[in-house]
Amino acid sequence: MRDWISYFDSDHPIYVNARHRAVHAAIVARDMLVHIPQGARVLDYGCGEALHADAIAARAGNLILCDAAPHVSANLAKRFAGSGKVNVMAPAEVAALPDACLDVIVLHSVAQYLSEAQADEFFALFHRLLKPSGIFVLGDIVKPEVGAATDALALLRLGAMNGFFIAAVMGLIRTLLSGYWQLRQSAGLTRYRETVMIGKLRRAGLEGQRAAHNIGHNQARMTFIARRLG
pLDDT score at 179:
67
Region of 83 (left: φ > 0; alpha: ψ -120 to 50; beta: rest) is beta
DSSP state of 113: G
pLDDT class for 4, splitting at 50, 70, 90? confident
Dihedrals phi, psi of 100, to nearest 5 degrees: 50, 50
Least confident of 16-20, 73-77, 194-198: 16-20
Beta bridge partners of 86: 63
- CA-to-CA distance for 10 and 7, rounded, in angstroms? 5
Q: Give CA–CA dist 42/148, Å, rounded.
A: 31
Q: What is the dihedral of CA 72, 98, 83, 31, to 10 degrees?
A: 70
SS3 190: coil
**Cβ of 82: how many Cβ atoms within 10 Å?**
5
The strand pairing partners of 104, in sequence order, are 42, 135
pTM metric for this prediction: 0.93
pLDDT for position 73? 96
Q: How many domains does the chain have?
A: 1
HSE toward the beta carbon, residue 198, CA cutoff 13 A = 8
Task: Determine the structural domain holding residue 91 and report its residue range.
Answer: 2-228
CATH of the domain at 27: 3.40.50.150
